[in-house]
Amino acid sequence: MLIKSRRNLYSILALVAVSIGFTACSSDHGELIGVQDREDWYQEDPYGMLFIPQGSYNMGESDEDLPYGQMNATRTVSVQAFYMDETEITNNEYRQFVEWVRDSIAHTLLGQADNPEELGEHYQMDKDGNVIEYGDQMPYSLINWREKINWDQEETKLILEDPNYGMFLPEHERYYHIKQLDTRKLNFEYYWINLKEAAKRGNRPQGQIDRSYFIEKRIDNIYPDTLCWVHDFTYSFNEPMTMNYFWHPAYDHYPVVGVTWLQARAFSIWRTGLKRSNQETNGVPFWNEYRLPSESEWEWASRGGLDLNKFPWGGPYTRNANGCFLANFKPLRGNYIDDGGLHTLIVAHYAPNDYGLYDMAGNVAEWCDDSFDPSSYRFAHDLNMQFSRDANDDLNTANKRRIIRGGSWKDIAYYISSSTRTFEYQDTAKAYIGFRNVQTYLGRAKGDGPNSSAVYR
């Protein structure tokens, strides 16, 4: 009896102790109040981007279907809020990507030369540049970006100019012994998660398939095809553009061209990583990723909130009241210079639309994320409408078609209409196609939040 009484006493004391612990450690008074002390969230406008509000509009033909293609029948589509680049991506902005890839390759070559046995599949460098062991699971080394590359240093030159694995053209491919970067080696390795594949019913419920199954990897050369100025135009002298357009400072603020859809997507993923790395360093929650716009987002942004308008400026004509052309395209019967330019022009040369976006008509056509299908307007969803296939290299030719929008400097007025859609192949580069990025807004609209006075309708 004495033993039993003691056991009962110990049980009561244990319950009291647990009760006191709950009372002492909890300040929610037993109520559902959510996780406390979460940091406040405010999304600033991404640099170089403009806010595009959510909305519904009549997507599709805004005028007579001249070719009678019947591939953009009008329908009501709704899109969520997002940010969009104010202008097309310029040569100088894309060059930042190229030089980042160049420097990352140089850092890797220099690191392997300094530690040929250590910097392999068994080792990694930490943020301070120290070699640390990670075993067989780490097949690469981190780059110490704080260590600048001195391209003129003799030891560096010997490594980077090595004919076996260096970064410059071998001697037999040079003329006048001019040392030039071998752009064929500017390959970018990147990853993304195939959420559409993961969401398929056969791959659910989540957790039953190794997540690595949905992680996609590609390696793409990211240097623009500068020869596009020659091969796009038969019997035409465009060699000066091939020689100078991408690298010369005179064209820094012109839209980048000669970029495939695959390269544009690689740029978007790199840009996301660049920003996310900075945010993680500063303890800031990361934003949504940079990406190519869906076709429905592009058209909504191009219209500038003016439903059923033919052009981004709102009117049905390509000239203003003073008789001046409002975009860079091919006016009249081929008088290229009548609009002020011969080929591409510096971005933001013409007035923006009502959202503040420049060059949504003309200058260069722009890649969209969507795959091209003549009937996609009829089967794609009307909520954030998008139809996009996986970008596999083994796709048949028809399935490699990607939407381009906005028309270009070499197109007639029909193609610079907000509703006109056409396509190009995802692995081809043209002298008249560029791109810009978008980023989905985190929330419903600006002003939303716990302390907001925004009115929900």
* Residue range of the domain that includes 289: 52-90+222-443
**What pLDDT sits at residue 140?**
52
Amino acid at residue number 351: A
Please say if the pLDDT value at position 205 is more than 90. Answer: no
Instruction: Write 140-143 long-range contacts (CB < 8 A, 24+).
Output: 141/108, 141/111, 143/104, 143/107, 143/108, 143/111
Give tens-digit pLDDT for 408-455.
999 999 999 999 999 999 999 999 999 999 999 998 888 776 555 444
Is there a domain that residue 343 lies in? yes
**What pLDDT sits at residue 131?**
47
Neighbours of 417 (CB within 10 A): 23
> For 49, phi and psi rounded to 5 degrees?
-115, 160
Is there a domain that residue 63 lies in? yes
**What pLDDT sits at residue 44?**
86
Is there a domain that residue 366 lies in? yes
Alpha-carbon span 287 to 394, nearest angstrom: 33
* Cβ partners under 8 Å of residue 119, min gap 6: 111, 112, 125, 131, 141
Is there a domain that residue 235 lies in? yes
Is there a domain that residue 144 lies in? no
Pull the structure tokens for residue 26.
């909890």
The residue with greater pLDDT, 49 or 4, is 49
**What pLDDT sits at residue 450?**
54
**What pLDDT sits at residue 43?**
82
Amino acid at residue number 19: S
Mean pLDDT of 254-269: 97
**What pLDDT sits at residue 199?**
82
**What pLDDT sits at residue 70?**
65
Q: Is the peptide bond before 205 cis (omega within 30 degrees of 0)?
A: yes
CATH number at residue 357: 3.90.1580.10
**What pLDDT sits at residue 248?**
96
Instruction: From 329, 401, 313, select the one nearest 365 (Cα to Cα).
Output: 329
Is there a domain that residue 265 lies in? yes
Range with the lowest mean pLDDT among 6-20, 86-100, 302-316?
6-20
**What pLDDT sits at residue 198?**
82
Is there a domain that residue 264 lies in? yes
Please say if the pLDDT value at position 133 is more than 80. Answer: no
Please say whether the beta carbons of 268 and 292 come within 8 A.
yes
Q: What is the mean pLDDT of the chain?
A: 84
3-class DSSP state of 13: helix
Band (pLDDT 50/70/90 cuts) for residue 71 is low
Alpha-carbon span 378 to 72, nearest angstrom: 9
Tally of domains within the chain: 1
Please say if the pLDDT value at position 18 is more than 60. Answer: no
Is there a domain that residue 114 lies in? no
Alpha-carbon span 37 to 257, nearest angstrom: 48
**What pLDDT sits at residue 208?**
64
Mean pLDDT of 159-184: 87
Q: What percent of the chain is predicted at pLDDT more than 70?
A: 82
Please say if the pLDDT value at position 129 is more than 80. Answer: no
**What pLDDT sits at residue 118?**
41
**What pLDDT sits at residue 65?**
64
Mean pLDDT of 216-222: 93
